[in-house]
């Protein structure tokens, strides 16, 4: 009987420690400052790195003719946009990696057919500089665009610094992104 009680007590301690470690979220450290860029958004407004300052930003890269991965990523970003839709200190940024085909009209069609209309979600048209912005500005590969584009979500702090990369297809990483985002918004 004593052995059974001992096992129950140890099990309870392990469970409590696991729960406490999950709630122990620390500030994500800056990895890299996003280098300067300037592109037009889907509403014909100029969006530059200056718009990254003073807000938490979650960014990704996409192209409108992507058959599978981009729509899934957009759905996960939409989930985040819904969670934080009433918070004025966060914005979402989807940057096209297909400057040849992703015109403003094509991007707006993508937005409308997927119900991605949020006042704090910006979709950017790009130019050929996207292939150098990815490695220099976001520390991601810019090779073989558009098909081999990065599929990570990028968390950017109030100072325009990248603080994390997260795979939205992996639920634990997606949850860590949400936790880190909430932490930054509350700090």
Q: Nearest Cα to 63, choosing from 135, 160, 141, 150? A: 150
Q: Is 176 exposed, middle or buried (0-12, 13-18, 19+ CB in 10 A)?
A: middle
Place of tokens 């989807």: 94
Alpha helix stretches (DSSP H) within 66-150: 69-83, 104-113, 130-137
What distance in Å separates the CA atoms of residue 7 and residue 4, rounded to the nearest whole number?
A: 5
- Specify the pLDDT at position 26: 57
Tell me the pLDDT tens digit for each residue of 9-65.
Answer: 554 444 444 443 444 455 688 889 999 999 999 999 999 999 999 999 999 999 999
Tell me the pLDDT tens digit for each residue of 117-173.
Answer: 999 999 999 998 888 888 888 988 877 767 778 899 999 999 999 999 999 999 999
In DSSP notation, 27-41 reads PPPP-EEPPP-EEEB
Q: Considering the domain 30-186 in this protein, what is its CATH number?
A: 3.40.30.10
Are the CB atoms for 133 and 48 separated by under 8 Å? no
Tokens of 83: 């969670």
154 compared with 187, residue with greater pLDDT? 154
**Domain range summary for the chain, segments of one domain joined by +:** 30-186
- Specify the pLDDT at position 135: 87
């Amino acid at each position: 009987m004593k052995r059974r009680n001992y096992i129950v007590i140890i099990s309870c301690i392990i469970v409590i420690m696991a729960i406490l470690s999950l709630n122990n979220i620390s500030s994500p450290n800056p990895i890299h400052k996003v280098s300067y860029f300037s592109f037009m958004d889907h509403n014909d407004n100029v969006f530059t790195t200056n718009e990254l300052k003073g807000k938490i930003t979650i960014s990704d890269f996409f192209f409108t003719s992507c058959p599978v991965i981009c729509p899934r990523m957009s759905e996960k970003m939409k989930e985040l946009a819904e969670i934080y839709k009433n918070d004025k200190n966060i914005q979402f940024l989807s940057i096209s990696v297909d400057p040849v085909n992703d015109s403003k009209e094509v991007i707006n069609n993508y937005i409308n057919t997927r119900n991605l209309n949020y006042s704090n979600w910006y979709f950017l048209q790009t130019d050929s500089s996207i292939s150098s912005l990815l490695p220099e500005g976001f520390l991601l590969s810019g090779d073989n665009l558009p098909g081999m584009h990065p599929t990570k979500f990028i968390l950017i702090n109030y100072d325009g610094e990248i603080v994390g990369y997260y795979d939205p297809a992996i639920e634990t990483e997606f949850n860590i992104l949400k936790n880190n985002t909430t932490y930054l918004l509350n700090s």
